[in-house]
């Protein structure tokens, strides 16, 4: 007896066919993906080369000593006689300042002149009286009417009044000079020492002239720093100022050799010596940095400008013929709470195998491989950059 064909059987047959097709498609996809795995990733080989374990400090070149020239009197810039980059000598005239008289000070000085003139007038009157008194005493003394003591007293009084007049005249001259200084900032006989003439305090190169003719300036005193007219430094005496990470600070000692690399001079390097490691770090965006300084030696007298960005390299140790790998190719996994490094190495069948490695020193770009792989290993680029992806596309086209 034939079995009757039902819709239920038809549904089972269709579902079985769909399952079979899906199974075959999945298997073929896995086979295909396995066969093309080697094409999906770039690989890099380790290289054998010398490696320096060095500390890198980023910073800039600055003068060892920079002098700011400031006026000793308030006023308006009348002339500027130097430009940025000019070489100046100690005592050379840099600028002149025109005094803007202070009304209160002018009134004070004028009053002192008037007081001195009044003192002179009184002193002249007293001298005239003393001369009359002395002439009378001298006549009476010769006639024997008064004693010698009385005669000498009159003579002393005349001398005292004459001296008072002389002092009053000197005070008038001083008051007149003070008035002139308040008005003009100088007197003719002291023009060479006038505070209106701003002179260089040392020999060097003019780095900056932050003021212009007509700018108002104030003097340097106990209450304010004053206006800087220009800054001067000796560009033959330069230092490197930079910062290092706190993890590197303990490795350094003063007196260690440095290599100063200046990018603006086509990455030229200059020898140097580490002279200072700050005892206190600075918090920079959540990271502790320690300031460092080093002398810069310029044996060929090349022109180095103040403010050039630079890197200071301090070599701690050097590894000869080290096996190096791009540090970005190293991956990590947690084992017993520790990060264990590994790489994925391409096998003969095109698959990649996880291989644990032992790492050595690192320069921030390459890391030394102590064990686990050799220089023939093809290591997977598991985190390709945009450049790596472009390279991968070019290889796929070929």
Element (H, E) at 333: strand 331-335
Round to whole Å and give the CA distance between 64 and 255. 17
Q: List, as own/partner pairs, every contact residues 161-164 make where C-beta atoms lie below 8 angstroms and the sequence separation is at least 24, other chains included.
A: 161/123, 161/126, 161/127, 161/129, 161/130, 162/127, 162/130, 164/123, 164/126, 164/127
In the chain, where are the structural domains located?
A: 41-52+321-397, 55-63+235-318, 66-99+196-233, 103-184
Residue 383 sits at φ, ψ, to 5 deg, of: -130, 70
Element (H, E) at 270: strand 268-277
Give the model confidence (pLDDT) of 304-334 as tens digits.
999 999 999 988 877 888 999 999 999 999 9
Q: What are the structure tokens assigned to 325, written together?
A: 């790998």
Three-state DSSP at 221 gives: coil
**CA-based nearest residue to 77, from 195, 229, 221, 188:** 229
**C-beta separation of 352 from 88 below 8 A:** no
Q: pLDDT tens per residue, the chain (398 residues)?
A: 445 556 666 676 767 777 778 777 767 655 555 544 445 688 999 999 988 778 889 999 999 999 999 988 888 898 999 999 999 999 999 998 887 777 788 788 889 989 999 999 998 999 999 999 989 988 888 888 888 899 899 899 999 999 999 999 999 988 888 888 777 666 665 554 456 788 999 999 999 999 999 898 988 778 888 899 999 999 889 999 999 988 888 888 999 999 999 989 988 999 999 999 999 999 888 889 999 999 999 988 888 999 999 999 988 877 888 999 999 999 999 988 889 999 999 998 888 999 999 998 877 788 999 999 999 999 999 888 888 888 877 777 66
What is the reported pLDDT for 259? 92
**C-beta separation of 235 from 243 below 8 A:** no
Assigned CATH class of 55-63+235-318:
mainly beta
Q: What are the structure tokens assigned to 31, written together?
A: 């086979």
Beta bridge pairs of residue 288: 283
- Taking phi over 0 as left and psi of -120 to 50 as alpha, with beta for the rest, 226 belongs to left
Round to whole Å and give the CA distance between 269 and 56. 14
Round to whole Å and give the CA distance between 185 and 194. 7
Other Cβ atoms within 10 Å of 11 Cβ, number: 10
**Domains 41-52+321-397 and 66-99+196-233 in one fold:** no
**CA-based nearest residue to 69, from 58, 55, 82:** 82
| Residue 396 CA neighbour count, 13 Å, CB half | 13
- Taking phi over 0 as left and psi of -120 to 50 as alpha, with beta for the rest, 307 belongs to left
| Residue count of the chain | 398
**C-beta separation of 198 from 210 below 8 A:** no
Round to whole Å and give the CA distance between 200 and 6. 112
Round to whole Å and give the CA distance between 117 and 128. 17
Round to whole Å and give the CA distance between 71 and 74. 7
The H-assigned helical ranges of the chain are: 7-35, 37-40, 103-143, 148-184, 246-249, 386-397
**C-beta separation of 229 from 241 below 8 A:** no
CA 307 to chain centre: 7
**C-beta separation of 59 from 293 below 8 A:** no
Q: Yes or no: is domain 41-52+321-397 CATH 3.40.1190.20? A: no
Rounded to two decimals, what is the model's pTM? 0.55
Rg (CA), the chain: 45
What is the reported pLDDT for 355? 94
What is the reported pLDDT for 391? 80
66-99+196-233, what's its fold? Answer: OB fold (Dihydrolipoamide Acetyltransferase, E2P) (2.40.50)
Q: What are the structure tokens assigned to 337, written together?
A: 């709470």
């Amino acid at each position: 007896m034939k079995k009757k064909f039902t819709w239920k059987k038809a549904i089972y047959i269709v579902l079985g066919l769909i399952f079979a097709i899906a199974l075959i498609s999945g298997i073929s996809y896995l086979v295909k993906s396995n066969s093309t795995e080697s094409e999906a990733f770039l690989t890099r080989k380790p290289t054998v080369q010398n490696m320096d374990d060095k500390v890198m400090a980023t910073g800039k070149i600055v003068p060892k000593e920079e002098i700011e020239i400031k006026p000793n009197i308030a006023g308006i810039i009348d002339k500027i006689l130097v430009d940025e980059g000019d070489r100046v000598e100690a005592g050379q005239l840099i600028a002149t300042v025109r005094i803007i008289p202070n009304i209160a000070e002018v009134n004070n000085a004028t009053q002192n002149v008037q007081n001195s003139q009044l003192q002179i007038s009184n002193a002249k009157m007293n001298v005239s009286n003393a001369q009359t008194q002395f002439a009378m005493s001298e006549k009476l003394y010769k006639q024997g009417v008064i004693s010698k003591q009385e005669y000498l007293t009159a003579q002393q009084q005349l001398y005292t009044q004459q001296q008072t007049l002389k002092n009053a005249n000197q005070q008038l001259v001083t008051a007149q000079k003070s008035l002139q200084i308040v008005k003009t900032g100088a007197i003719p006989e002291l023009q060479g020492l006038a505070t209106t003439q701003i002179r260089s305090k040392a020999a060097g190169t003019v780095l900056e002239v932050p003021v212009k003719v007509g700018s108002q300036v104030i003097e340097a005193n106990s209450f304010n720093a004053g206006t800087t007219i220009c800054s001067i430094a000796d560009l033959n005496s330069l230092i490197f100022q930079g910062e290092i990470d706190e993890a590197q600070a303990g490795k350094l000692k003063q007196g260690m050799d440095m290599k100063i690399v200046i990018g603006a001079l086509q990455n030229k390097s200059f020898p140097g010596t580490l002279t200072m490691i700050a005892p206190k770090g600075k918090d920079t965006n959540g990271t502790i940095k320690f300031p460092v300084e080093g002398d810069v030696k310029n044996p060929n007298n090349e022109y180095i400008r103040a403010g050039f960005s630079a890197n200071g390299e301090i070599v701690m140790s050097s590894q000869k013929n080290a096996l190096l790998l791009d540090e970005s190719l190293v991956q990590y996994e947690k084992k017993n709470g520790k990060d264990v490094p590994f790489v994925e190495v391409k096998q003969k069948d095109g698959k990649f195998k996880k291989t644990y490695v032992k790492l050595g020193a690192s320069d921030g770009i390459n890391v030394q491989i102590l064990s686990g792989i050799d220089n023939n290993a093809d290591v997977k680029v598991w985190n390709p950059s945009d450049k790596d992806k472009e390279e991968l596309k070019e290889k796929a086209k070929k």
